């Protein structure tokens, strides 16, 4: 029976593609823990993250280039390596690509609040974010940008007095897994920190409760410590809090 010979060059290229995709994916995966657990500078971590993405893309491209001419029936051993390069590379490239696409249609802001006219000030968390690239003050240009991008983010009006509203806010914040750093019922203020699971980015949160008629008005503000844009993370956090608070009984 005649068997087509394997192509040694194609086989070698397929193995190179597999190595590139695997190494690139590992680099992308470890970039977050490098910052969160080892304290590597964020600029260096982003560079590592970016170059890991480049390697995964190179692995995918080379894998496609070596796999397309080959078919399983060709008995070319490089087919499997090329296929795995594409699969592993796609898995490693997904998060960076997703973030890039999100950045294209998200506003370049990192501070979201339900009250853009008079944002709840950071008090306890302002002390904890000393040295952070983003100052604690609410940027003056944020209000118009936020209203255009997230018009649905509004204060929550509860038909309960502030003392009861504070208890509900506390329960929701605890259930969401935030690190509570200040509970000041007398001021109607709760402050917390939310930490991202991969990179360990820390965002500061302040919730303000004030009386409004027979009930209470609840405002929340979530602000990133680093990064010009948050890819919608703070807005999503505020939305989640609002939904949970409205459902709280």
pTM above 0.75, yes or no: yes
Written as six digits, the tokens of 168 are 């509900």
Mean pLDDT for the stretch of residues 170-182: 97
Q: Are 122 and 206 in contact (CB under 8 A)?
A: yes
pLDDT in tens, 20-68: 999 999 999 999 898 888 888 888 888 999 999 999 999 999 999 887 6
pLDDT of residue 144: 95
Most confidently predicted of 77-81, 199-203, 204-208: 204-208
Q: Where are the domains of the chain?
A: 8-105, 111-247
pLDDT in tens, 59-97: 999 999 887 655 554 445 678 889 999 999 999 999 888
Cβ neighbours, 10 Å, residue 6 = 15
CATH of domain 111-247: 3.30.530.50
pLDDT band at 101 (very low <50, low <70, confident <90, very high): confident
pLDDT of residue 66: 85
Please name which of 96, 110, 92 lies closest in space to residue 46, comparing C-alpha atoms. Answer: 96
**pLDDT above 50 for 2:** no
Q: 234-246: buried (b, 16+ CB within 10 Å) or exposed (e) per residue?
A: bbebbbebbebbe
pLDDT in tens, 128-164: 998 899 999 999 899 999 999 999 999 999 999 999 9
Kindly report the average pLDDT of the chain as a whole number. 90
């Amino acid at each position: 029976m005649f068997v087509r010979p394997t192509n040694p060059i194609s086989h070698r290229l397929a193995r190179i593609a597999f190595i590139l995709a695997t190494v690139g994916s590992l680099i992308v995966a470890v970039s977050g823990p490098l910052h969160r657990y080892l304290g590597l500078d964020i600029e260096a971590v982003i560079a590592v993250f970016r170059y890991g993405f480049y390697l995964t893309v190179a692995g995918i491209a080379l894998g496609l280039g070596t796999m397309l001419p080959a078919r399983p029936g060709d008995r070319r051993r490089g087919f499997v390596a090329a296929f795995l390069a594409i699969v592993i590379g796609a898995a490693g490239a997904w998060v960076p690509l997703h973030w890039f696409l999100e950045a294209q249609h998200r506003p370049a802001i990192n501070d979201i609040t339900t009250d853009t006219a008079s944002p709840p000030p950071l008090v306890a968390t302002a002390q904890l974010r000393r040295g952070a690239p983003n100052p604690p003050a609410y940027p003056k240009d944020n209000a118009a940008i936020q209203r255009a991008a997230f018009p649905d983010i509004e204060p929550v009006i509860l038909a309960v007095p502030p003392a009861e509203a504070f208890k509900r806010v506390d329960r929701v914040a605890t259930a969401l897994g935030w690190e509570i750093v200040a509970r000041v019922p007398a001021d109607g203020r709760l402050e917390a920190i939310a930490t991202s699971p991969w990179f360990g980015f820390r965002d500061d949160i302040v919730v303000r409760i004030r009386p409004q008629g027979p009930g209470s008005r609840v405002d929340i503000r979530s602000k990133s410590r680093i990064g010009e844009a948050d890819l919608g993370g703070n807005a999503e956090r505020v939305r989640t809090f609002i939904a949970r608070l409205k459902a709280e009984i």
